[in-house]
Each structure stands twice: as C-alpha cells, then as structure tokens.
Amino acid sequence: MHELSIAKNIIDILNENLTTDQKCKVKTVRIKVGKLTNIMVDSLLFGFEALTRETDFEGVTLEVEQLPLRIKCENCGKETDLDDFAFSCPVCQGSAIQIISGQELIVKEIELND
C-alpha cells in the first residue's frame, strides 16, 4: 500500500515547511492527485489520519482533488479526458498521444486557523 508512504511524505512536507507555531494551527491540507498515480483516496485518507494521531497534525483535514487523465492527440490535435487506460485518441483512434495531466501529486494548499 503506497498510500501510507505518500501520507508520510505529506506529513514530511508539512514538517519541513511550517514553523513550530504554524504546525499547531494547520486546519486543512489540500492536495491534487492525478488518475495515473493509481492512489486509492480512501486508503490515503486512512493512512494520513493514522499517522497524524497524537502529533501536531491530529485532526487536520486532508482534502483530495482527483485530476483526470487528459491527453492530446498528435494526429488530430484534440484534447480529451480518458476514463480508462486505453492510450489512444477516442476521436481519431490515433496512438500518437501526449499526456497533459493525470500524473500529478501536489500539495496545493495548507490552510491555517487564525
């Protein structure tokens, strides 16, 4: 389950980028996760909650925005979101595609209490 190591990495990012005073004020962490990362969001949320128990981050909400797998066809130029991992253009069936999004794993925002 790589979600647990990802949750640990998110906590490491918080520890590296926040002062001691800020750590106690974290309310919400917002992340973006691309479809190609194959992250199970429920497992990530569970792992984050488990790892933050009895720490400065206990009770922090982890919000996950899932990003679609988006491609651009080199043949017809169309940009399309794919629901599956059939890496061909649904418009012209071309196989010369470029992945535009879907590989992201980004800590987008850390919200602090006032």
For every residue of 15-68, DSSP letters joined together read: HHHS-HHHHTTEEEEEEEEEGGG---HHHHHHHHHHHHTTSTTTT-EEEEEEEP
Residue ranges and CATH numbers for the domains of the chain are: 2-68+102-112 (3.30.2320.50)
Mean pLDDT in the chain?
A: 94
Nearest-angstrom CA–CA distance, 43 and 25? 25
Question: Could you report the per-residue pLDDT of 74-96, keeping only the tens digit for each?
Answer: 999 999 999 888 889 999 999 99
At 1 the pLDDT is 56
Q: pTM of the entire structure?
A: 0.85
User: Which parts of the chain have pLDDT scores under 50?
Assistant: none
